Amino acid sequence: MAAEATIIELIGKVPGCPIRFTCLDASAIAKGALLQMTTGTIRQVVTHAAADKSIVGIAAHEKVANDGSTNITAWTNGIFDITAAAAGATDIGHMVAGSATVNMFTPADANDLLQSSFIGNVLETTDNDERVAVRVLTQHIGG
C-alpha cells in the first residue's frame, strides 16, 4: 500500500454514494486509489497520476490487471484519511485537489475548480506528507 485513502466514514442515504465507472482490463487499481477521468470509453477512469485532472472518487475495491473486469466502483461521499503532498500546510476547511503526486492532495486553486479536480475539504490542519481527514464529495461528476 502506498498513499491510498482509507475510509473513516461513508456518508449518504446509500453509504459512500458509490458510482460505477469503466476501466481497461489491463488496469491495476489499488483499493483506496484516487480515480481520475481519462479518454477512452464513456466514464472511463484510471488511478490519479497528475494534477488538474477530474477526480471522480476513491476506488472501493482492488482491480487486478488482466482479470477480465472492465468496471470499478468509486466512493464519492465520505470522510477519508488522505495524504497531503509536499506543497505546504493546509488549514481546516480549505478545499483540496489531486496533486501531481499519485493519491495525494494539495490546496485547491481556481484551475482545480475549472478542471473538477477538487476532492473535498480538509477537516484538520495539515503539513507536508501528513495523513489527515478529508471530507470527500466528488458527486459533481456523474452523481
User: CA 4, CA 35: separation in Å to the nearest integer?
Assistant: 11
CB 22 within 8 A of CB 59: no
Q: Is residue 24 predicted with pLDDT exceeding 90?
A: yes
Domain limits, the chain: 12-75, 78-137
Side chain identity, residue 121: N
Q: Is residue 28 predicted with pLDDT exceeding 80?
A: yes
Instruction: For residue range 109-134, list pLDDT tens digits in order.
Output: 888 877 778 899 999 988 777 899 99
pTM of whole model > 0.95? no
User: CA 73, CA 22: separation in Å to the nearest integer?
Assistant: 9
Report the run of H or E that residue 57 belongs to, with start and end.
strand 55-59
User: CA 57, CA 29: separation in Å to the nearest integer?
Assistant: 13
